[in-house]
A and B are shown apart, each in its own frame.
Chain A
Amino acid sequence: MNVPLAVEAIALERTYASGHTTVAALAGVTVAIRRGEFVAVMGPSGSGKSTLLNVVAGLERPTGGTVRVDGEDLAKLDEEALARHRSKRVGMVFQSFNLLPRLKVVDNVALPLAFSRVPQAERLRRARAMLERLGMTARAEHRSNELSGGELQRAAVARALIGDPAILLADEPTGNLDSANGAALIALFEELHRQGQTVLLVTHDAQIAAHAERTIRMRDGRVVDA
């Protein structure tokens, strides 16, 4: 029991002011994700699943409740510490890949390490090793605008994993992929999970969610079925 949970959210709230009304994207979410788990968060758009992911990623601060990632209470972190949280504790994969088009794939993958002050040679060595692990060695020296969607997302996963994060976060990672590439990506997640990686995946697709060990269903900012 001494091992901290990968993610522990207690009564998490996130409200947005929208004109004169406030919208609650998270209205008291309590979830726990153990280390090594592969969890899917499912729900229709507007259910708050992406907000939950962003809060865990440290991209957004909750307006209420507590969230701990790998034992660290994110509310206690200032902006600089939150940046370190993003570079070391979590790895994020987006629907729209979000690679820098002017950089080579290997430099994109190595980028997070630059912000954690890893020397350049070491960064490139680790990025190449990661690309090899994901079967992307052939594309390492290409620019990201020369890659297919499937390759882009694989590169994005490599970038998310480069800092050896406690948890891999993915927000609709198959949303911009065709079904074959989507299936291959999910297979990659399953493989990473088998290797012990904690994965938190947000999707609205029940077929994708079915690959996870456990599915958290959300609606209107609440967990309806954990």
Chain B
Amino acid sequence: MRPGDLLRMSLGNYGRARLRSALTTAGVAIGTALVVLLIALATGAEDNVRRSIFSIGDLRLVTVQPFQPGANGLSAVPRTITDDTVAKLKGVAHVDGVYRQFDAPLGMVVEGGDDATIRPQGIEPGAPIDRGDLLAGRHIETGDRAVAVIPGNIARLVAPNVGAAVGRTVTMRVGGAVKLGSTRIGGSGTPRDYAVKIVGVFDEQSSQTSFRIPLDDALLAGAENRGLTPDAMRTTTGYSGLAVEADDSTNVADIVKAVQELGFSSFSLKQVVEQIDQGFGVFKGILAGIGGVALLVAAIGIANTMVMSVLERTREIGIMKAVGASPRDIRALFLVEAAYVGVFGGILGLALGLAGGQLIDRIIRQLNPQTNPAAIFVVGPDLALGALALALGVALLAGFLPARRAMRMSALSALRYE
């Protein structure tokens, strides 16, 4: 048969037992809708979690920590990050940049009073931590000395507003007693004051204590606090950490491996995201399975309908075979009829799932206007196409045995069938 004739004849057969076809199609639609809804819910949840993670930081970043790999809590064995480590990491493939960081002892901004506790972080220009979060001023630049980029909350302690803070020179006291929350701690070493000029103010959402200063200033402050030279700090104490930037987030795993081979512990959001993805994969699988049961029930419905259809049309099958329909023609007729159930049910189910998801979204939003504005149900093109393909596949599978039965029917006995 020609494909056009096949589609036309099967559609005629599908439309003949209207109620039965409609009910079977509804079964597929409900199953598909359930699969769509459940997976959309999981996808929405995953999107929300991922969005939160992306807001924390860059997926291309690997942080090198001054511990041995596998360190956890108390068992952490210190390792020294030196310039030698930096050089080695710069030679690793897919590494775009290595940024050193040195944290000086806790301190305070004298002009800000007791609440202006700071953690002076020595960074290099362009460090990932010092990007794109400015409220006023600029980031740390090459050649800077005795400057700072400070969080908004500290800026407001030393000036009427963040804009006014830029350009002011404040006293950075490193070491000695500081107030942390409501308690005072002794701090390390003898306090020593440094005059620094505020060149930028960043949004304190990322940190309320981080006081970004040039790396050399931090090394000097750390060294003076302990009565050493900055060079001694570099070699004996080592850096507090390194930010290693990959050329692409897909290469992060390679870099993590290289870091561990150098003997350092590492942390990357990318790996956290991967673990979350894995978790959501399982979650989605379970939800899809639940929806799949509904589709399975629908498949049994299709099979039942098709068996009835074959039985009802036994004589017709006999006639068609007698006038020249080949076994393949007969099988195709019934398979395509089942496919119509799958396609129509799939489209209807997808529409139902989309509408249902939006409805539930809207209801939740009305009940709780404070809720996260992100969508709870997310249906991407892959889910939509996948649901259609699934409905079609299930229908074809369910139609296979009845179609084979029709195909194998003897023309003569079918003609005699009353």
Contacting residues of chain B (373-395) with chain A, CB-CB under 8 angstroms = none
Tell whether, in the assembled complex, residue A83 and residue B16 are in contact, meaning their CB atoms are under 8 Å apart. no
Task: Report the minimal beta-carbon distance from B183 to chain A, rounded to whole angstroms.
Answer: 89
Tell whether, in the assembled complex, residue A86 and residue B322 are in contact, meaning their CB atoms are under 8 Å apart. yes
Contacting residues of chain A (50-81) with chain B, CB-CB under 8 angstroms = 54, 57, 59-60, 79-80
In the bound complex, what is the Cα–Cα distance between A98 and B415 (angstroms)? 8
Chain A interface SS verdict (over half): helix
**CB of A38 within 8 A of chain B?**
no
Scan B314-329; emit 1 where CB is below 8 A from any A CB, else 0. 0110111111111111
Contacting residues of chain B (392-418) with chain A, CB-CB under 8 angstroms = 411-412, 415
Tell whether, in the assembled complex, residue A94 and residue B415 are in contact, meaning their CB atoms are under 8 Å apart. yes
Contacts of B328 in A (CB 8 A): 80
Residue of B nearest to A112 (CB): B323
Q: Which of B2, B4, B319, B329 contacts A98 (CB 8 A)?
A: B319
| Stretch among A116-124, A131-139, A187-195, A214-222 lining the B interface | A116-124
In the bound complex, what is the Cα–Cα distance between A163 and B326 (angstroms)? 15
A115-B320, A120-B4 known; A83+B412 contact, CB < 8 A: no
Tell whether, in the assembled complex, residue A115 and residue B412 are in contact, meaning their CB atoms are under 8 Å apart. no
Tell whether, in the assembled complex, residue B322 and residue A159 are in contact, meaning their CB atoms are under 8 Å apart. no
In the bound complex, what is the Cα–Cα distance between A98 and B320 (angstroms)? 10
**CB of B5 within 8 A of chain A?**
yes
Tell whether, in the assembled complex, residue A115 and residue B4 are in contact, meaning their CB atoms are under 8 Å apart. no
Interface residues on A, range: 20 to 34
Tell whether, in the assembled complex, residue B320 and residue A111 are in contact, meaning their CB atoms are under 8 Å apart. yes
In the bound complex, what is the Cα–Cα distance between A14 and B9 (angstroms)? 35
Tell whether, in the assembled complex, residue B4 and residue A87 are in contact, meaning their CB atoms are under 8 Å apart. no
**CB of A20 within 8 A of chain B?**
no
Contacting residues of chain A (79-121) with chain B, CB-CB under 8 angstroms = 79-80, 83-84, 86-88, 92, 94, 98-100, 102, 111-112, 114-117, 119-120
Contacts of B315 in A (CB 8 A): 98
Task: Report the minimal beta-carbon distance from A194 to chain B, rounded to whole angstroms.
Answer: 25
Contacting residues of chain B (302-316) with chain A, CB-CB under 8 angstroms = 315-316
Tell whether, in the assembled complex, residue A115 and residue B326 are in contact, meaning their CB atoms are under 8 Å apart. yes
A100-B316, A111-B320 known; A117+B1 contact, CB < 8 A: yes
Tell whether, in the assembled complex, residue A86 and residue B321 are in contact, meaning their CB atoms are under 8 Å apart. yes
Q: Which of B5, B320, B329 contacts A120 (CB 8 A)?
A: B5
Contacting residues of chain B (345-362) with chain A, CB-CB under 8 angstroms = none
Tell whether, in the assembled complex, residue A88 and residue B324 are in contact, meaning their CB atoms are under 8 Å apart. yes
Residue of A nearest to B329 (CB): A115
A60-B412, A117-B2 known; A111+B327 contact, CB < 8 A: no
Residue of A nearest to B8 (CB): A120
Residue of A nearest to B4 (CB): A120
Q: Which of A54, A87, A88, A112 contacts B412 (CB 8 A)?
A: A54
Most buried by B among A92, A99, A115: A115
Contacts of B316 in A (CB 8 A): 100
A59-B412, A83-B327, A100-B316 known; A114+B1 contact, CB < 8 A: yes
Tell whether, in the assembled complex, residue B326 and residue A80 are in contact, meaning their CB atoms are under 8 Å apart. yes
Tell whether, in the assembled complex, residue A79 and residue B16 are in contact, meaning their CB atoms are under 8 Å apart. no
Contacts of B5 in A (CB 8 A): 114, 120
Tell whether, in the assembled complex, residue A115 and residue B16 are in contact, meaning their CB atoms are under 8 Å apart. no
Residue of A nearest to B330 (CB): A83
Task: Report the minimal beta-carbon distance from B309 to chain A, rounded to whole angstroms.
Answer: 14
Task: Report the minimal beta-carbon distance from B55 to chain A, rounded to whole angstroms.
Answer: 61
Task: Report the minimal beta-carbon distance from A154 to chain B, rounded to whole angstroms.
Answer: 16
Q: Which of B16, B318, B325, B415 contacts A102 (CB 8 A)?
A: B16
Tell whether, in the assembled complex, residue A92 and residue B327 are in contact, meaning their CB atoms are under 8 Å apart. no
Tell whether, in the assembled complex, residue A83 and residue B329 are in contact, meaning their CB atoms are under 8 Å apart. yes
Tell whether, in the assembled complex, residue B324 and residue A112 are in contact, meaning their CB atoms are under 8 Å apart. yes
Contacts of B9 in A (CB 8 A): 114
Task: Report the minimal beta-carbon distance from A61 to chain B, rounded to whole angstroms.
Answer: 10
Tell whether, in the assembled complex, residue A87 and residue B324 are in contact, meaning their CB atoms are under 8 Å apart. yes
Residue of B nearest to A50 (CB): B412
A54-B412, A59-B411, A102-B16 known; A119+B2 contact, CB < 8 A: yes
In the bound complex, what is the Cα–Cα distance between A112 and B316 (angstroms)? 13
Task: Report the minimal beta-carbon distance from A14 to chain B, rounded to whole angstroms.
Answer: 11
In the bound complex, what is the Cα–Cα distance between A173 and B326 (angstroms)? 25
A94-B415, A100-B316, A115-B329 known; A84+B324 contact, CB < 8 A: yes
Residue of B nearest to A81 (CB): B326
In the bound complex, what is the Cα–Cα distance between A48 and B402 (angstroms)? 33
Task: Report the minimal beta-carbon distance from A177 to chain B, rounded to whole angstroms.
Answer: 19
Tell whether, in the assembled complex, residue B2 and residue A111 are in contact, meaning their CB atoms are under 8 Å apart. no
Residue of A nearest to B16 (CB): A102
In the bound complex, what is the Cα–Cα distance between A88 and B415 (angstroms)? 20
Most buried by A among B1, B5, B322, B328: B322
Tell whether, in the assembled complex, residue B326 and residue A111 are in contact, meaning their CB atoms are under 8 Å apart. no
Most buried by A among B318, B319, B412, B415: B319
The 9 closest A-B pairs by CB, nearest first: A87-B324, A83-B326, A112-B323, A115-B324, A86-B324, A115-B325, A112-B324, A80-B326, A98-B319
Taking beta carbons and an 8 Å cutoff, which residues of B are in contact with A?
1-2, 4-5, 9, 16, 315-316, 318-329, 411-412, 415
- Interface CB pairs A-B, < 8 A, 20: A54-B412, A79-B326, A80-B328, A83-B324, A83-B325, A83-B329, A86-B324, A87-B323, A87-B324, A92-B323, A94-B415, A98-B322, A102-B16, A111-B320, A111-B323, A115-B1, A117-B1, A117-B2, A119-B2, A159-B323
With A94-B415, A112-B323 given, name 12 new contacts (CB 8 A): A54-B412, A59-B322, A79-B326, A84-B326, A86-B321, A86-B323, A100-B316, A115-B324, A115-B325, A120-B4, A159-B323, A163-B324
